[in-house]
Amino acid sequence: MTARQARTGADTHPPTEAETSASDREEIATLADIRRLAGGCRRCDLYEHATQVVTGEGSEHARLALVGEQPGDQEDLQGRPFVGPAGRLLDRCLQEAELDRDECYVTNAVKHFKFERRGKRRIHERPNAGEVQACKWWLDRELKILKPRLVVALGATAVQALLGRAVGVMKQRGQVLPGPDGLQVLVTVHPSYLLRIPDSGAAERARSAFIEDLRKIHTVLGK
Protein backbone atom coordinates (compact mmCIF):
# COMPACT_ATOMS: atom_id res chain seq x y z
CA MET A 1 0.00 0.00 0.00
CA THR A 2 1.23 3.50 -0.73
CA ALA A 3 1.65 6.28 1.83
CA ARG A 4 -0.95 8.31 -0.05
CA GLN A 5 -3.53 5.54 0.30
CA ALA A 6 -2.83 5.25 4.01
CA ARG A 7 -3.34 8.98 4.51
CA THR A 8 -6.51 9.23 2.45
CA GLY A 9 -8.12 5.96 3.42
CA ALA A 10 -8.46 5.01 -0.23
CA ASP A 11 -9.06 1.41 -1.27
CA THR A 12 -5.94 -0.67 -0.97
CA HIS A 13 -4.38 -2.95 -3.53
CA PRO A 14 -2.22 -6.03 -2.93
CA PRO A 15 1.26 -4.74 -2.00
CA THR A 16 3.79 -4.68 -4.80
CA GLU A 17 7.17 -6.35 -4.27
CA ALA A 18 8.65 -2.95 -3.42
CA GLU A 19 5.90 -2.18 -0.91
CA THR A 20 5.89 -5.59 0.74
CA SER A 21 7.89 -5.78 3.96
CA ALA A 22 10.12 -8.72 4.74
CA SER A 23 7.58 -9.92 7.30
CA ASP A 24 5.04 -10.55 4.53
CA ARG A 25 7.34 -13.14 3.02
CA GLU A 26 8.21 -14.97 6.25
CA GLU A 27 6.11 -17.69 7.82
CA ILE A 28 4.33 -16.53 10.95
CA ALA A 29 3.36 -19.40 13.22
CA THR A 30 3.44 -17.90 16.73
CA LEU A 31 2.70 -14.66 18.53
CA ALA A 32 6.44 -14.40 19.16
CA ASP A 33 6.91 -14.32 15.37
CA ILE A 34 4.51 -11.40 15.17
CA ARG A 35 6.33 -9.49 17.90
CA ARG A 36 9.65 -10.15 16.20
CA LEU A 37 8.60 -9.18 12.68
CA ALA A 38 6.08 -6.38 13.21
CA GLY A 39 8.78 -3.88 14.14
CA GLY A 40 9.82 -3.79 10.50
CA CYS A 41 6.31 -3.26 9.18
CA ARG A 42 5.99 -0.66 6.41
CA ARG A 43 2.45 -1.43 5.28
CA CYS A 44 1.45 2.20 5.95
CA ASP A 45 3.35 5.34 6.96
CA LEU A 46 2.36 5.47 10.66
CA TYR A 47 5.69 3.86 11.60
CA GLU A 48 7.49 7.03 10.52
CA HIS A 49 6.44 9.03 13.60
CA ALA A 50 5.60 6.41 16.23
CA THR A 51 8.23 5.44 18.80
CA GLN A 52 7.73 1.74 18.19
CA VAL A 53 5.24 -0.88 17.11
CA VAL A 54 2.90 -2.16 19.84
CA THR A 55 1.71 -5.70 19.27
CA GLY A 56 -0.64 -7.74 21.43
CA GLU A 57 0.08 -9.19 24.85
CA GLY A 58 -1.13 -12.36 26.50
CA SER A 59 -1.25 -16.12 26.34
CA GLU A 60 -1.33 -18.01 23.05
CA HIS A 61 -3.95 -20.20 24.75
CA ALA A 62 -6.31 -17.34 25.67
CA ARG A 63 -9.95 -18.08 24.93
CA LEU A 64 -10.76 -14.37 25.07
CA ALA A 65 -9.21 -11.57 23.02
CA LEU A 66 -9.86 -7.86 23.49
CA VAL A 67 -9.22 -5.54 20.55
CA GLY A 68 -8.97 -1.77 20.87
CA GLU A 69 -8.30 0.94 18.32
CA GLN A 70 -4.59 1.77 18.52
CA PRO A 71 -1.82 2.38 21.07
CA GLY A 72 -1.95 5.65 22.97
CA ASP A 73 0.88 7.86 24.16
CA GLN A 74 1.95 5.64 27.06
CA GLU A 75 1.58 2.46 25.03
CA ASP A 76 3.77 3.93 22.31
CA LEU A 77 6.47 4.81 24.85
CA GLN A 78 6.34 1.53 26.79
CA GLY A 79 5.71 -0.82 23.85
CA ARG A 80 2.77 -2.55 25.59
CA PRO A 81 -0.99 -2.37 24.90
CA PHE A 82 -3.45 -0.78 27.34
CA VAL A 83 -1.03 0.55 29.95
CA GLY A 84 -2.22 4.18 29.90
CA PRO A 85 -5.32 5.72 31.56
CA ALA A 86 -7.77 3.75 29.38
CA GLY A 87 -5.87 0.54 30.07
CA ARG A 88 -5.93 1.08 33.81
CA LEU A 89 -9.67 1.72 33.66
CA LEU A 90 -10.10 -1.44 31.57
CA ASP A 91 -8.21 -3.44 34.20
CA ARG A 92 -10.51 -2.18 36.98
CA CYS A 93 -13.64 -2.91 34.94
CA LEU A 94 -12.42 -6.40 34.09
CA GLN A 95 -11.88 -7.05 37.80
CA GLU A 96 -15.38 -5.85 38.64
CA ALA A 97 -16.74 -8.12 35.91
CA GLU A 98 -14.78 -11.00 37.54
CA LEU A 99 -12.44 -11.39 34.57
CA ASP A 100 -8.69 -11.84 34.77
CA ARG A 101 -6.66 -9.80 32.30
CA ASP A 102 -3.84 -12.33 32.63
CA GLU A 103 -6.14 -14.88 30.98
CA CYS A 104 -6.92 -12.57 28.04
CA TYR A 105 -5.04 -11.56 24.92
CA VAL A 106 -5.11 -7.77 24.50
CA THR A 107 -4.27 -6.03 21.24
CA ASN A 108 -5.29 -3.23 18.89
CA ALA A 109 -6.62 -2.95 15.35
CA VAL A 110 -3.72 -0.60 14.50
CA LYS A 111 -0.27 -1.24 15.93
CA HIS A 112 1.34 2.23 15.66
CA PHE A 113 0.29 5.39 17.53
CA LYS A 114 -1.27 8.01 15.26
CA PHE A 115 -1.21 11.47 16.78
CA GLU A 116 -1.17 15.20 16.23
CA ARG A 117 1.53 17.14 18.05
CA ARG A 118 0.37 20.19 20.00
CA GLY A 119 3.36 21.76 21.64
CA LYS A 120 4.92 19.04 23.78
CA ARG A 121 1.75 16.97 23.84
CA ARG A 122 0.83 14.20 21.42
CA ILE A 123 -2.92 14.13 20.86
CA HIS A 124 -4.60 10.93 19.67
CA GLU A 125 -5.80 11.01 16.07
CA ARG A 126 -8.19 8.36 14.79
CA PRO A 127 -6.68 6.05 12.16
CA ASN A 128 -8.29 6.20 8.75
CA ALA A 129 -9.79 3.30 6.80
CA GLY A 130 -6.61 2.71 4.81
CA GLU A 131 -4.48 2.44 7.94
CA VAL A 132 -6.95 0.08 9.58
CA GLN A 133 -7.06 -2.10 6.48
CA ALA A 134 -3.26 -2.17 6.19
CA CYS A 135 -2.83 -3.25 9.81
CA LYS A 136 -5.61 -5.83 9.57
CA TRP A 137 -2.90 -8.04 8.05
CA TRP A 138 -1.36 -8.34 11.54
CA LEU A 139 -4.66 -8.59 13.44
CA ASP A 140 -5.81 -11.45 11.20
CA ARG A 141 -2.63 -13.35 11.95
CA GLU A 142 -2.94 -12.81 15.69
CA LEU A 143 -6.47 -14.22 15.66
CA LYS A 144 -5.53 -17.09 13.36
CA ILE A 145 -2.88 -18.17 15.85
CA LEU A 146 -5.08 -17.64 18.92
CA LYS A 147 -8.37 -19.06 17.65
CA PRO A 148 -10.21 -17.38 20.56
CA ARG A 149 -13.71 -18.43 21.58
CA LEU A 150 -14.71 -14.76 21.76
CA VAL A 151 -13.30 -11.41 20.69
CA VAL A 152 -14.41 -8.20 22.42
CA ALA A 153 -14.43 -5.24 20.04
CA LEU A 154 -13.68 -2.10 22.06
CA GLY A 155 -15.11 0.73 19.97
CA ALA A 156 -15.99 1.44 16.35
CA THR A 157 -12.52 1.03 14.83
CA ALA A 158 -12.12 -2.43 16.34
CA VAL A 159 -15.61 -3.42 15.17
CA GLN A 160 -14.81 -2.29 11.62
CA ALA A 161 -11.53 -4.21 11.60
CA LEU A 162 -13.07 -7.39 12.97
CA LEU A 163 -16.34 -7.49 11.05
CA GLY A 164 -15.32 -5.66 7.89
CA ARG A 165 -18.32 -3.38 8.13
CA ALA A 166 -19.54 -0.42 10.15
CA VAL A 167 -21.77 -1.19 13.12
CA GLY A 168 -23.57 1.23 15.41
CA VAL A 169 -21.68 0.54 18.62
CA MET A 170 -24.20 2.17 20.95
CA LYS A 171 -27.11 0.36 19.27
CA GLN A 172 -25.49 -3.07 19.27
CA ARG A 173 -23.29 -2.93 22.34
CA GLY A 174 -23.52 -6.03 24.49
CA GLN A 175 -24.47 -8.17 21.49
CA VAL A 176 -22.39 -10.99 20.05
CA LEU A 177 -22.19 -10.68 16.27
CA PRO A 178 -20.88 -13.26 13.80
CA GLY A 179 -17.57 -12.42 12.16
CA PRO A 180 -15.53 -14.07 9.42
CA ASP A 181 -14.34 -17.68 9.82
CA GLY A 182 -16.78 -18.34 12.65
CA LEU A 183 -15.42 -15.54 14.84
CA GLN A 184 -17.74 -14.36 17.62
CA VAL A 185 -17.47 -10.63 18.32
CA LEU A 186 -18.92 -8.93 21.39
CA VAL A 187 -19.48 -5.24 20.66
CA THR A 188 -18.90 -2.57 23.32
CA VAL A 189 -17.38 0.87 23.80
CA HIS A 190 -13.71 1.67 24.18
CA PRO A 191 -12.75 2.53 27.78
CA SER A 192 -11.34 5.86 26.58
CA TYR A 193 -14.96 6.83 25.81
CA LEU A 194 -15.73 6.57 29.52
CA LEU A 195 -12.84 8.89 30.36
CA ARG A 196 -14.19 11.60 28.06
CA ILE A 197 -17.61 11.91 29.73
CA PRO A 198 -17.51 15.19 31.70
CA ASP A 199 -20.52 14.64 33.96
CA SER A 200 -19.61 12.39 36.87
CA GLY A 201 -23.06 10.84 37.13
CA ALA A 202 -23.23 10.06 33.42
CA ALA A 203 -19.69 8.70 33.54
CA GLU A 204 -20.55 6.31 36.38
CA ARG A 205 -23.66 5.07 34.55
CA ALA A 206 -21.62 4.50 31.40
CA ARG A 207 -18.99 2.66 33.41
CA SER A 208 -21.63 0.38 34.92
CA ALA A 209 -23.04 -0.34 31.46
CA PHE A 210 -19.55 -1.21 30.21
CA ILE A 211 -19.04 -3.65 33.09
CA GLU A 212 -22.40 -5.26 32.28
CA ASP A 213 -21.22 -5.73 28.69
CA LEU A 214 -18.07 -7.42 29.98
CA ARG A 215 -20.06 -9.71 32.27
CA LYS A 216 -21.76 -11.20 29.21
CA ILE A 217 -18.40 -12.78 28.39
CA HIS A 218 -19.07 -15.36 31.09
CA THR A 219 -22.20 -16.55 29.28
CA VAL A 220 -20.35 -17.02 25.99
CA LEU A 221 -17.33 -18.73 27.53
CA GLY A 222 -19.41 -20.79 29.93
CA LYS A 223 -17.71 -19.45 33.03
Kindly list the domain boundaries of the chain, sorted by start residue: 3-221
143-154 confidence digits (pLDDT tens): 999 999 999 999
* Bigger pLDDT: 114 vs 14: 114
CATH 3.20.20.120 fits 3-221, yes or no: no
125-146 confidence digits (pLDDT tens): 999 999 999 999 999 999 999 9
* CA distances from residue 73 to 52, 116, 117, 135 in whole angstroms, order as listed: 11, 11, 11, 19
The pTM (predicted TM-score) of the whole model is: 0.89
